[in-house]
Chain A
Amino acid sequence: MKAMLAGFVLIGAIAVGSDFALDYAGFSAQERNSGAAVRLN
């Protein structure tokens, strides 16, 4: 049971971590699909 919970916690951690990491690396949809003339922030 502990292994199952640990696995589920790991899923959550990887999901949140990957979302932040990809956003930080500039892989958000808005970053990839907007022209240089568009100010995103």
Chain B
Amino acid sequence: MPRLIFAIVLKLALLCGLSAMAQEATTPAAPDRSATGGAQTLDDILARQRGEPIDDSFRSMATGDPNSAAAMADQLGTLGGQSDPELWRALRYNSADLRVSAGGEVATVLVQDGGMRWLSVRQRPLRTYGGGLLLVTIGLLAIFFVLRGRVRVDAEKTGRTVTRFAFFERMAHWTLAGSFILLGVTGLLTLFGRVAIQPLLGKEVNSVLLIGSKWIHNSVSWAFMLALIVVFVLWVAHNIPNRLDLVWIRQFGGIVGKKHPPAKKFNAGQKLIFWSVILFGASISVSGLSLLFPFELPLFAKTFTILNDIGLPNWVGYGPLPTDLAPQEEMQLAQLWHAIVAFVLMAIIIAHIYIGTLGMEGAYDAMGTGEVDEAWAHQHHSIWLEEVQEKERAKPQEAGATAAE
């Protein structure tokens, strides 16, 4: 299973155009280019048009040699050992010795053809599969709601309530939830604005929405990251998996069927949501920080080096992943990773919102007022309810003992 997940993730990464680079190790022997004097042949051009990996070192290495330049007074001496085509190739393959007055090393990259691969992935597969994932999730939940209906509280409500979440817990939850929804909506506007908003409302409206989205996305991200840390600290102890979770999973948590498995403060389903939010949220935060501070926090060359050292790409039949990435390439990969993981988390959160509102009677109260009916608590978190009641019963005894002293 981990191998399968890794294969899927790697496949997504390779969609970003890394396949050509990752498979260079398996590129077939160079064709005979004697007829063109070493320049590219029709076979090279056709192979590139078919999207096949080609070894283009015959072009990338042909960038002239200033050391063997003719003297200035000699024929072609003014070229400094490098013809115009050779100079352009050096610029094209980022091997020219450039100096810039501003922008640092990043600005010395004048041509970065990986940008076109990033653009095509962002424009087609990312929008199609990402948007499709959200629509399919909503559709499946709608079908499930029609078939299953709302999970009702079986017993008569008692009218007595217990405190499920304290004020601070709920505030942390809503800070995380509100910031995530804002980030999700502004992220979607950024990705789909040109194809969904602009044709309907025009360029001006789309422009205003994008400028606003950028500010909200960049600024609200700090609230998300802070709330993510707070929520982790608050609830991690309650979300350690235990044997009860297996019972809960076997009985589908009472969501499918009529059984109501025992659970502590959080059941297995809630633990799954918790760890998804923490792990995917952390991954989104790290890639987001890399994007917030462009070129300051490159992640992928280091990550690919570690993966290559472990040998993971070989496990799924790929050559080593590229570790020599241009700064712009780092940003492009960070953007794609950020969006892919965000789509997965959005799908999970849509399911979470469904079960917390429409899907289950009484669930919203836990985060709304913080108070839940004892009948609800007994049905969904019976062990937790017993623990709370045990504590409540112990309180008067302790108070009485103190007064007697």
B368/A1 in contact, CB under 8 A: yes
User: Could you mark each residue 1-30 of chain A with 1 if its beta carbon is under 8 Å from any beta carbon of chain B, else 0?
Assistant: 111101110110011101100000001000
- Contact partners of A10 in chain B: CB under 8 A: 171, 175, 223
Q: Taking the complex as formed, is A38 at the interface, i.e. its CB lies under 8 A from any CB of chain B?
A: yes
Q: How far is the CA of A1 from the CA of B68 in the complex (A)?
A: 77
Task: Name the residue of chain B whose CB is nearest to the CB of A8.
Answer: B178
Q: Taking the complex as formed, is B260 at the interface, i.e. its CB lies under 8 A from any CB of chain A?
A: no
Q: Taking the complex as formed, is A40 at the interface, i.e. its CB lies under 8 A from any CB of chain B?
A: no
Task: Name the residue of chain B whose CB is nearest to the CB of A16.
Answer: B219
B9: shortest Cβ distance to chain A, in Å? 31
- Contact partners of A6 in chain B: CB under 8 A: 167, 171, 174
- Contact partners of A38 in chain B: CB under 8 A: 102
Q: How far is the CA of A38 from the CA of B102 in the complex (A)?
A: 9
Q: Taking the complex as formed, is B220 at the interface, i.e. its CB lies under 8 A from any CB of chain A?
A: yes
Label chain A's interface by main secondary structure.
helix
User: Given A7-B173, A10-B175, A11-B175, is A1 in contact with B220 using a C-beta cutoff of 8 Å?
Assistant: no
Extra inter-chain contacts (4) besides given A1-B368, A35-B101, CB under 8 Å: A3-B170, A4-B171, A7-B171, A7-B178
User: Could you mark each residue 143-178 of chain B with 1 if its beta carbon is under 8 Å from any beta carbon of chain A, else 0?
Assistant: 000000000000000000000000100111111111
Q: Taking the complex as formed, is B78 at the interface, i.e. its CB lies under 8 A from any CB of chain A?
A: no
Q: How far is the CA of A8 from the CA of B177 in the complex (A)?
A: 9
Q: How far is the CA of A5 from the CA of B357 in the complex (A)?
A: 18
Q: Taking the complex as formed, is B215 at the interface, i.e. its CB lies under 8 A from any CB of chain A?
A: yes
Enumerate chain B interface residues (CB-CB to A < 8 A). 101-103, 167, 170-179, 182, 215-216, 218-220, 222-223, 226-227, 293-294, 367-370
Q: Taking the complex as formed, is A41 at the interface, i.e. its CB lies under 8 A from any CB of chain B?
A: no
User: Given A11-B179, A15-B220, A18-B222, is A35 in contact with B368 using a C-beta cutoff of 8 Å?
Assistant: no
B171/A35 in contact, CB under 8 A: no
Q: How far is the CA of A4 from the CA of B367 in the complex (A)?
A: 8
B174: shortest Cβ distance to chain A, in Å? 3
- Contact partners of B101 in chain A: CB under 8 A: 35, 37
B219/A18 in contact, CB under 8 A: yes
B216: shortest Cβ distance to chain A, in Å? 7
- Contact partners of A11 in chain B: CB under 8 A: 175, 178-179, 182, 220, 223
Task: Name the residue of chain A whose CB is nearest to the CB of B217.
Answer: A15
- Contact partners of B368 in chain A: CB under 8 A: 1, 4
A14 touches which one: B167, B177, B226 (CB < 8 A)? Answer: B226
- Contact partners of A37 in chain B: CB under 8 A: 101-102
